Amino acid sequence: MGKIDVAKREARLRTLGLSGKLPEALTERVLEAVRTHPLDERYTLSDGEVRGLVLQVAANGTASFVLHYRTRDGIQHTTGIPSGSLKDVRAYALAELAKVRAGGDPVGEKREARGAAVRAKSGTVRAYLEGPYWLEKLKHRKGRNGAIAKTHMLAAWKDVLDVQLGALTRDAIEKVLGDRKSATKKDGTRKTKDGTLLRHWNPLRAMLDHAVRRGYLAAMPTTGRPEPLRGLHDEPRVRWLGENDSDEEIAKGEGERARFFKALDKIESDEPGGGDFLRCTARIAINTGMRRGELLRLRDDMIKRNPDRLELTAAITKSNKARKVFLNPDALAALKRWLEVRKTLKVQSIRGELFPGEGEPEKVAERWEDRITQREFPRLCEQAGVTGLVFHHLRHYPDRRIIPHRHTACASPPSVRGFWRMLDAG
């Protein structure tokens, strides 16, 4: 808010076509000249009557008023002035300056009003989860991870979803976790494990922290772990096929692994590809360590030869990094068999998917995935008499010694994590 450069101001008014005695303050005549004589450049004209009131003009001649002022703390701010007649603009500016002299800050007040409106709009815990947190965080997670996380949070915290976000208390959070921790099965064991309780709390904590950082919440309703979670540890549980098989059972061709592979060779399905779909995906997972989501999003152009391998793109991997997965004879045979079976499907691989279907690629992958997670793999385990095993556990299968390349993804169980180290040691 420096002094007006009178000479520069007069030169600008002459350029706008004004002649004779020039006005010391803005007039309707000056505003009309601004509108009708665009100068193809940006410039400003101080009012001359109300201190800090400035007309900002764009290159095309459009103009708007702003007010520059300093607060009592010496902080300079600029605030916009609603459009209207010159008289109304000055009246508005004078009213704003009166607030400043009284110790107010129009810009700060507007900012706080906007924040209050946003906080009011966020409303309940559910509204914040499905609104700002979904749009700013969960929606941008890879694949369906964000949607899955939202679904889990809605289920885990259903008892507090209708509570106002700002009214969520430590007691309410601890009651949900405490009730879940104390719930038991018929045999007296707890329904919810330690790791599950921690996985319920951690996403909510992240959401509340996001709300605090964004100004939707004044402070976290609780610091540290809620009381029901004190002392709990999320111990990793690595499950792999045949972990309880004895050497004697393995030698006799009995045990969990033997039953699993016998059932896998016999399983059939009325769905596209029959039992060959599960045989293909299971054997590739066992022999390569690939994840279910990576398998179901494979494309023909990812299959390479010499050496036989799959070149996964960053778009389908959990780490968002491309990698190569080398194929041993068993995995290669399963892949070749599926390529033959695929020729019999009504829907061919029109976009190059290894597992094709009609519709959006993600929806197609979800339909194949449902067959694994909800129907065929659980039925396979039941037929084999295998309990506690899910498809993801197949990537922990220990007997991957015939893999030709050590670069293959291999998430081995603890008993064989040192296999490559032992191999190097001879």
**Host domain of residue 343:** 247-300+329-425
For 102-119, the pLDDT digits (tens) are: 888 888 888 777 666 655
- Are residue 414 and residue 355 in the same domain, yes or no? yes
For 303-338, the pLDDT digits (tens) are: 998 888 999 998 888 878 889 999 899 999 999 999
Tokens of 301: 């152009």
- Identify the CA nearest to 372 among candidates 295, 258, 263, 260: 295
| The last residue of a domain, from among 229, 256, 272 | 229
Average pLDDT over residues 403-417: 38
- Are residue 281 and residue 352 in the same domain, yes or no? yes
Is 323 inside any structural domain?
no
- Are residue 394 and residue 262 in the same domain, yes or no? yes
Is 117 inside any structural domain?
no
- Are residue 189 and residue 257 in the same domain, yes or no? no
- Are residue 277 and residue 380 in the same domain, yes or no? yes
Distances (CA, A) of 352 to 313, 322, 342, 349: 14, 18, 12, 5
| Residue 247 neighbours by CB distance under 10 Å | 8
Q: What is the pLDDT of residue 417?
A: 35
Is 237 inside any structural domain?
no
Rounded Cα–Cα distance for residues 317 and 289 (Å): 12
Is 318 inside any structural domain?
no
For 85-107, the pLDDT digits (tens) are: 899 999 999 999 998 988 888 88
Is 33 inside any structural domain?
yes
Q: What is the CATH number of the domain that holds 276?
A: 1.10.443
Is 313 inside any structural domain?
no
Q: What is the pLDDT of residue 122?
A: 55
- Are residue 277 and residue 133 in the same domain, yes or no? no
- Are residue 10 and residue 90 in the same domain, yes or no? yes
For 198-229, the pLDDT digits (tens) are: 889 999 999 999 999 988 888 899 888 899 99
- Answer whether residue 384 shows pLDDT above 50: yes
- Are residue 145 and residue 67 in the same domain, yes or no? no
- Are residue 218 and residue 274 in the same domain, yes or no? no
- Answer whether residue 413 shows pLDDT above 70: no
Average pLDDT over residues 148-174: 92
Rounded Cα–Cα distance for residues 393 and 259 (Å): 16
Q: Could you tell me the pTM of the whole model?
A: 0.47
Is 315 inside any structural domain?
no
For 353-381, the pLDDT digits (tens) are: 888 888 787 888 888 888 888 889 999 98
- Are residue 143 and residue 64 in the same domain, yes or no? no
- Are residue 286 and residue 390 in the same domain, yes or no? yes
Number of domains comprising the chain: 3
Is 401 inside any structural domain?
yes
- Are residue 345 and residue 267 in the same domain, yes or no? yes
Q: What is the pLDDT of residue 2?
A: 55
